[in-house]
Amino acid sequence: MRPFLLAGAVAAIVATALLAGGAVSREDDAAAAPTTRELVRLGLRELDTARRTGEPSRYARSEAALEQALEQDPAEVQALVGLASLANARHDFREGLALARRAHRLSPDTAVVYGAMGDALVELGRYRDAFETFDRLAELKPGIAAYSRVSYARELLGQTEGALEAMTLAVDAAGGRGETAAWALTQLGKLHFSRGRLERAEAEYRRALAALPGYVQALDALAHVQAARGRLRRAIELEQQAVQQSPLPQYVGTLGDLYRAAGRPGLAREQYRLVGAIDRLFVANGVETDLELALFNVDHGVRLGESLERARRARQARPSIEADDVLAWALVRNGRCGEALRYSRSALRLGTVDAAKFFHRGMIERCLGRPVEARSWFHKALRTNRHFSIRWAPVARELS
């Protein structure tokens, strides 16, 4: 469920960059009417808390503080960038882009503006503009925010080694301790995992946990490594720790898949039901979740017709390769093979090396009655990452 993770990563980088000046205490907030700068810091702190804890109610508090800052000073660039990041975190990328462009008009040389702008452009499928924006960010302010985004751009283009190189620069820029370092190390590990390099991935995840003990993203990522090695009990323990700290849908869903793989279907169903409840909470707090929930439901065979409509809406709102892939997957799971092929081709148009997308294409070819082509795509998925999915990698191995 990568889109959830992407939004969290974006919020982390932007919030880290803007919070560098420190935070206002709650006592200070209560003692006097807050200044514009204090309101900005409060808004960003609430956004960062939402990202770390999975409490979507924090989004409304963040929005209120940042909007109040803009009322005090309509030219407050950091408030605009904060609102752009908030819109991106809620998956309203058109609003995020509009706010970032408004900030850009006020301050075209402020680096963080380009991060928020590029993040929105990526999710809207405007890749050339997004990559140019990330290049401009790197020119203005080389560092973790720039290097990590350049890494993601290269990953989308299928340049795996280049993506690793840029993320290594991000790790170096992050320093050795704290959440920023842990985040960068985890992303570096995920790049290795995406190519089936379990030892390298595990090493980076353990470095992340050394940089910040108990770091939730690293716990989740390490659970995937343990599952890939067949150590399901340990994987479940790690994922339980992640869920306890941050009950986000991607962690809860993974825990359900681990229970299912371990032969505990009752516990798996409990987690799957919880994903739906958490999703409703996010929607109630202004988060658009059509893409993420469509993918989860299609993966798990839940309300396939309804999920197809969700995927169509998501693709209209976010015409990215991720949305193309989810729609293709939803279509084939509903038996609409020919239409699925069109969107699968679009999902792969950048040359992205993604085992899950290759697997989905294989299922489409199989649906179209082309077994040779299907097996070729299954082999390609498994060559890329033999452990790309707790649920679907075993299916790919069986059908290849």
Question: Mind giving me the DSSP string for 110-153?
Answer: -HHHHHHHHHHHHHTT-HHHHHHHHHHHHHH--SHHHHHHHHHH
Tokens of 32: 């006097």
Asked if the domains 1-141 and 289-400 are classified in one and the same CATH topology, the answer is: yes
**φ, ψ of residue 352 in degrees (nearest 5):** -60, 135
Question: Of the ranges 152-166, 193-207, 228-242, 276-290, which one carries the lowest mean pLDDT score?
Answer: 276-290
Residue-wise pLDDT for 374-384, tens only, equals: 999 999 999 99
The terminus-to-terminus CA distance of the chain in angstroms comes to: 24
Q: Are 154 and 167 in contact (CB under 8 A)?
A: no
Those residues with Cβ within 8 angstroms of residue 71's Cβ, 6 or more apart along the chain or in another chain: none
| Percentage, residues of the chain above pLDDT 70 | 92
pLDDT at 51: 84
The CATH fold assigned to 289-400 is: 1.25.40
Residue-wise pLDDT for 288-303, tens only, equals: 999 999 999 999 999 9
pLDDT at 18: 38
**3-class DSSP assignment, residue 190:** helix
Angle at 342 between CA 337 and CA 348, to 5 degrees: 115
| Of 319, 264, 329, residue with least CA distance to 296 | 329
**1-141 CATH choice from 3.30.565.10, 1.10.3720.10, 3.40.50.2300, 1.25.40.10:** 1.25.40.10
Q: Where are the domains of the chain?
A: 1-141, 289-400
pLDDT at 32: 67
Say how far residue 339 (Cα) sits from the centre of its chain: 26
Q: Which residue has better confidence, 1 or 238?
A: 238
Locate tokens 């509009």: which residue? Answer: 98
Q: Are 219 and 186 in contact (CB under 8 A)?
A: no
The stretch 232-254 carries a mean pLDDT of 96
In one-letter notation, the amino acid at residue 22 is G
Query: In the chain, how many H helices and how many E strands?
Result: 23, 0
Q: Are 275 and 249 in contact (CB under 8 A)?
A: yes
pLDDT over 60 at 12, yes or no:
no
pLDDT over 90 at 79, yes or no:
yes
| Of 107, 160, 197, 145, residue with least CA distance to 16 | 145
pLDDT over 60 at 37, yes or no:
yes
Q: How far apart are CA 357 and CA 330, in angstroms?
A: 12
pLDDT over 70 at 26, yes or no:
no
